[in-house]
Amino acid sequence: QVYLDIYKRRKEDKMITPVLARADWVIEHASSIPLKEDYGKTRWNWCDALFMAPAVYTRLYALTGDKKYMKFADREFKSTWEYLYDQDEKLFYRDDYYFQKREANGQKIFWGRGNGWVMGGLVEILKSLPSDDRKYRPFYESLFQEMAGKILVLQQEKGYWGASLLDSDSYPLPEMSATGFMVYALAYGINQGYLSREVYLPAVQKGWKALVEAVNTEGKLGWVQPVGSRPEKVTKKMTELYGTGAFLMAACEMYRLAD
């Protein structure tokens, strides 16, 4: 995604040629294994992948005009959505391991950062799809708005989102990678007119305040859950690159919002 964004500005072939070669190879060798049987994880069968992969193909579609990239991305995204998205809770399971698992309070397990990855990924798709596209955009806009409504009501009183979205008693402390992605997505939604400013702005402001307060005197963002696949305990001293990245992405949208 980064190389393609730089290519869009500088138009140097070396920035896009390797990405095209790899993407073409992936499409030509696309697996048809059902997600529940894809033990080698050749498909997008965990929710984090919805941040990692689709926006590469939407960017290639926008840059080249070749529909094969969007057809592939849309097919694979919707397969993951059908498999991992809980229509009742409006949230994604991290993967199928958690379908029957429950939190201590009896609620389903929905990982904060996992759903943060999805929200951030939806933003990247909407950012990179051509603005006049009416074949693909409606689905992603609708899913973004639907999830945003759920994310809004799961925000904690102090502005952050926790490691577990439905069990704040077991995980009462902040988790700033999830919070960063949520603020990024909700602020983007306001800026682009997908979300009501009146409804969502207070939540965005509270979330941004929580993020800023999590930066210590050395400039390090704390309360970031380490690499994992499920809700885990977090401490003030924990930090990771993706937490800082989400913070900076949120900052970009907050800057636009302030303007």
Q: How many alpha carbons fall within 13 Å on the CB side of residue 92?
A: 34
Helices (H), 13-53: 17-28, 49-52
- Distances in Å between the alpha carbon of 7 and those of 73, 128, 231? 20, 13, 37
Choose among 203, 210, 167, 159: nearest CA to 185: 203
Residue 119 parent element (H or E): helix 112-128
Select which of 5, 13, 24, 48 is catalytic: 48
* 39 Cβ contact list (under 8 Å, min separation 6): none
**168's tokens:** 């704040």
CA distance 245 to 121: 13
Question: Is 24 a catalytic site residue?
Answer: no
Determine the residue type at 61.
Y
Catalytic residues: 48
